[in-house]
Amino acid sequence: MLDRDQCLALDAEDPLREFRHEFVLPDGVIYLVGNSLGALPRRTAERVRRTVEDEWGRQLVGGWNHAGWYEQPLTTGDRIAPLIGAGPGQVVVGNTTSIAVYQAVAAALRLRPERRVIVSDLRNFPTDHYIVQGLAGLLGGYELRDLSEGSFEDAAVVLLSEVDYRTGARADVPAVTAAAHAAGALIVWDVCHSVGAMEVDVSAADFAVGCTYKYLNAGPGAPAFLYVNPRHHAAAENVLSGWHGHAEPFAFEADYRPAEGVRRFAVSTPHVLSFAALEAALDVWERVPMAQVRAKSMALGELFVELVGDRLELASPADPAARGSQISLRHPDGYPVMRALIDRGVHGDFRAPDVLRFGFAPLYIGYADVYDAATTLLEVLDKELWRDDKYATRLAVT
């Protein structure tokens, strides 16, 4: 087992160590929630200021043309594409992941009109499943089948996450994609918990969706992305047929006519100020070797698991290759345990009913941070520091 000095030595030789300076984090905080809301990149404030003051302030409405706002859903999509194994002209940015799920699943259903089964995963982040329930209710006549039933037979579409938000378990994307296709289904991957944490490749999938505010560090409310495989560009329909997906939005025609390519999946006015923060984050990602991110992420996770030992039940897979970039542990009083930990500067989060989540974002988390986090957790448990009434009250957002 490594001691703290050995962890500091690993930090000193870490090939990603310089990236820590790209982020602003409060002193005394070990931030292990980058799997929910990534940390603030150091250059984001200046980038957002530029968009507000120089673009909006000076160019006013001209910003749509001259500052590139109108094209941003596609130009930013091209910057995200390499992070998910996609090519140029295959990713559109905007809206939220929930909305992108709606668009992708609805488009897939229209591409498989003869089929009436939607396979989803009840363990998936609930919004994905809620969206499918709403869509199936609207359309009528669809069977929702849970992944646990183990069958893709007759499925029109399969909607899954690459990394499970609660346990961090990682799906075998190539194998599951091939199985869905062998059954004649289309597949939509949600890569919210894998993009920016590892090399992602959705190029064999039909659609993929993801958010940019977790490992990609684009900030609260940052726009989501939607990948559409080029083999579907001509036939796939965007049921949210807003004007920005129209072939000629500024012709102001009476009827909807879809644009060519992935642009047809744009919906409406892009959130320009949020795009500015996303662009600043992508400026960092363009310099990041993702293989090193994955290697460090697995090493950090392993270190944490070793340090915590068998003190708590591991909810994540034991094999580091079968996990994303988080470690989940179970404790029946997980909520007050996490509150006590946060009070001591170690920020993780809690997922009902009993899961403590710790996300390891390798660009700004080091080995000594992991050592300190695990040591603090053991102290909170050993001294039962969580048994304090002030940790019992539930906050609105856990």
Binding site for ligand 3DJ (CB under 6 A): 36, 125, 165, 397
Q: What three-state secondary structure class fits 313?
A: strand
Q: In this structure, which amino acid lies at residue 237?
A: E
Per-residue binding letters, 86-115, with ligand PLP (x by CB under 6 A): ----------xxx-----------------
State the DSSP H helix or E strand holding residue 310, giving kind and residue range, or none if neither.
none
With 0-12 / 13-18 / 19 or more C-beta atoms within 10 angstroms meaning exposed / middle / buried, residue 127 is middle
Task: Decide if residue 129 touches ligand PLP (CB under 6 A).
Answer: no
The annotation status of 113 as a binding-site residue, yes or no, is no
Under rule CB under 6 A, residue 135 binds ligand PLP: no
Query: What's the closest the beta carbon of residue 30 comes to ligand 3DJ, in angstroms?
Result: 19
Tell me which long-range contacts 387-391 makes (C-beta under 8 A, separation of at least 24). Answer: 387/336, 388/336, 388/340, 390/339, 391/335, 391/336, 391/339, 391/340, 391/343
- Is 127 annotated as belonging to a binding site? yes
Report the residue number whose CB is nearest to ligand 3DJ.
Answer: 165
Nearer to ligand 3DJ, 72 or 97 (CB): 97
Counting contacts by CB under 6 A, is residue 133 touching ligand PLP?
A: no
Q: Does 350 bind ligand PLP (CB under 6 A)?
A: no
Q: Which of 145, 357, 364, 391 is catalytic?
A: 357
Write down the catalytic residue from 213, 275, 335, 360.
213
* 375 is an annotated ligand-binding site residue: no
Is 181 annotated in a binding site? The answer is no
Q: Does 37 bind ligand PLP (CB under 6 A)?
A: no
Nearer to ligand 3DJ, 107 or 163 (CB): 163
Q: How far is CA 62 from the centre of its chain?
A: 33
Number of residues that bind ligand PLP (CB under 6 A): 13
Whether 363 and 285 have beta carbons less than 8 Å apart is answered as no
- Whether 357 is a known active-site residue: answer yes
As measured in angstroms, the least distance from the Cβ of 8 to ligand PLP is: 33
Catalytic residue among 19, 70, 125, 335: 125
326 binds ligand PLP (CB under 6 A): no
CA separation for the pair 281, 275 (Å, rounded): 10
Sequence-ordered list of residues with C-beta below 8 angstroms from that of 341, at least 6 positions apart, any chain: 347, 348, 356, 376, 377, 380, 386
Q: Is 130 a catalytic residue?
A: no
CA torsion angle 294 296 302 305 (round to 10): -100
* Site string (198-227) toward ligand PLP, x via CB under 6 A: -------------x------------x---
- DSSP alpha helices (H): ranges in 13-96? 44-49, 63-66, 72-80
Report the distance separating Cα 285 and Cα 91, nearest Å. 17
User: Is 190 or 369 the residue whose CB approaches ligand PLP more closely?
Assistant: 190
Query: Toward ligand PLP, which CB reaches closer, 16 or 163?
Result: 163
For 13, the token pair is: 């030789």
Q: Is position 51 annotated in a ligand binding site?
A: no
Q: Contact 376/333 with Cβ under 8 angstroms?
A: no
DSSP state of 246: B
125 catalytic? Reply is: yes
Q: Which is nearer to ligand 3DJ, 75 or 127 (CB)?
A: 127
CB neighbour burial string for 84-118, b if at least 16 within 10 angstroms, e if fewer: bbbeebbbbbbbbbbbbbbbbbbbbbebbeebebb
Q: Does 369 participate in catalysis according to the annotation?
A: no
Which of ligand PLP, ligand 3DJ, none does residue 23 bind to, with CB < 5 to 8 Å depending on kind?
none
Q: Which of 79, 112, 145, 214 is catalytic?
A: 214
Q: Looking at the DSSP assignment, which residues form a beta bridge with residue 93? A: 225
Residues forming the active site = 125, 190, 213-214, 357
Binding site for ligand PLP (CB under 6 A): 96-98, 125, 127-128, 161, 165, 190, 192-193, 211, 224
Binding residues: 97-98, 125-128, 190, 193, 213, 243, 269
Binding residues for pyridoxal 5'-phosphate: 97-98, 125-128, 190, 193, 213, 243, 269
